[in-house]
Amino acid sequence: MLLVLPIALPFLTAIAALILRRSRGDLAVSLAGSVALLLAGVALLSEVLSGGPVAVQMGGWAAPFGITLFADILSAAMVLITGIVAVATVLFSVRDVRDDERRVGFHPLTHALLAGVCGAFLTGDIFNLYVWFEVMLIASFGLLVVGGRREQMDAAVKYVGLNLIATLAFLIGVGLLYGAAGTLNMADLHLVLAERQTETAVLASAALLLFAFGAKAAMFPLFSWLPASYHTPAFATSALFAGLLTKVGVYALLRVFTVVFDGGSPAIGGVLLVGAVLTMVIGVLGAAAQNETRKILSFHIISQIGYMVLGLALFTPLAIIGAIFYLFHHIIVKANLFFLAGAIAWKTGGERLDRIGGLYKAAPLLSVLFLIPALSLAGIPPLSGFWAKFIIVQASLESRDWLIAFAALAVGLITLYSMTKIWLAAFWTDHPDPGHDLTRPLPATMLVPILVLAGLTVIVGLGAGPLYAVAEEAAVTLLDPSVYVGTVLGPEAAARAVALAGEAKP
């Protein structure tokens, strides 16, 4: 039952919010649904921590023939973090989203998106992963055009264009995989493909899925849809996208290229390594060249995705731990930075760096709250981003990839530079319009999410041990798929997976 709730609750909330969207009842339903999702995430993670991974076969069809839902510590933690972002987004939207945007479906679309995100985290079947990606694409397209401004329509066309290409690649890859293996259940695929990783059809499927997931994660060179679109909708929508959408692509890479395909093979690992470094470098250079808050932050999403993919590319236990730790940390920090961009615009009246300013004197608390995630993003100790980068760099050094470690450190420095640009423009310099009223109070529904997410960033930074332990346990499950296989298919299949792993070792 707990495995179904994170998917069912957002769908039920979306339906109720759709019915009530002409009144303000949709807001209350949306907030209640978000809190319920958060509580379901807490319950699911508690069950996994106490009893290990869990799986359920929908409709009474035994795996691998039915639809499998699976949760280990990684997917359960991702559901919990999704619930945190959901509550923060709905709260922030109270004053950020206009009534006309709310009435045309902001809350139903938000919860439909959350259902797709949780479905992707919990599915045990690659075809159903495709289905959940489509749910996310449809809902996110709807959220992009809510408001109907010309720039939103233009951004939505670019967003959907590349994502549809990725979707086509995904579907073709799934078709090739089914033709080669005769199954799409990920646990079953692990057994079927264990000794067939070098077959042409399997390699072609892996390449297509790598392209599809890379596009969803905004890896180089498939990232152009993100900076073209994330600055156009409401700030609450931007924060929701920034926190979750690309991370689903990273999650899919981590899951599929450990359970189904051998992510440690030279071919796959080499492509991931080059893609990760180029993603880091191109993303951070793009951020340094921008002069609007959300455009800078959008390019930083791309750059930070590179760190996560780098952890998978290195494919050592420490590197995988670093990728997972980075994934957890970045969702909170990046969502909060987009909320802060909204708060800055609320106070100063804009997003362009040459048209804002004066907040250091007018809003000192907001100044501190901005510094926390900004410095964390750049990897400054003792915040959560420092530990995420530290683990990745240490893994690079242990692998003797000196240039990779240097690139990771250099990207961190340029990140600090571009975040300093926002700080100097929004907080340190005076507002270019002396008559602009900077005393306009920030609504509590905007301030509270920012405070909570900033607090989580500090807590994780000062007490990184528990989150590291969670990431370490998640990495063990990824690198030893026998636990996954046994939970889904039973102990005999797990024993076979262990035997296959032993045969694969030199």
Residue (of 85, 249, 222, 86) closest to 165 by Cα position: 222
DSSP-derived secondary structure for 282-330? HHHHHHHT--BHHHHHHHHHHHHHHHHHHHHHH-SHHHHHHHHHHHHHH
The DSSP code sequence of 69-101 is EEE-HHHHHHHHHHHHHHHHHHHHHHHHS-HHH
Q: What percent of the chain has pLDDT over 70?
A: 98
Kindly indicate the confidence band of residue 41, based on its pLDDT and cuts at 50, 70 and 90: very high
pLDDT of residue 66: 82
Give the pLDDT of residue 501.
67
Residue range 263-289: mean pLDDT, rounded: 91
Q: Give tens-digit pLDDT for 189-211.
A: 998 888 888 888 999 999 999 99
Over residues 34-60, the mean pLDDT reads 92
* Coarse DSSP helix, strand, coil percentages of the chain, rounded to the nearest 5 percent: 75, 5, 20
Residue 98 has pLDDT above 60, yes or no: yes
Amino acid (one-letter) located at 102 = R
Q: Please state whether 153 falls in left (phi above 0), alpha (psi between -120 and 50) or beta.
A: alpha
Res. 482 pLDDT band, cuts 50 70 90: confident
Question: Which pLDDT band, with edges at 50, 70 and 90, does 504 fall under?
Answer: low
Confidence of residue 71 (pLDDT cuts 50, 70, 90): very high
Sign (positive/negative) of CA torsion 210, 6, 142, 228? negative
pTM attached to this predicted model: 0.94
- Whether the Cβ atoms of residue 324 and residue 469 lie closer than 8 Å to each other: no
Kindly tell me if the per-residue pLDDT of 505 is higher than 90: no
Report the distance separating Cα 237 and Cα 454, nearest Å.
19
The overall average pLDDT reported for the chain is: 90
User: Residue 355 carries which DSSP code?
Assistant: G
Q: Are 29 and 45 in contact (CB under 8 A)?
A: no
- What mean pLDDT comes out for the span 13-20? 93
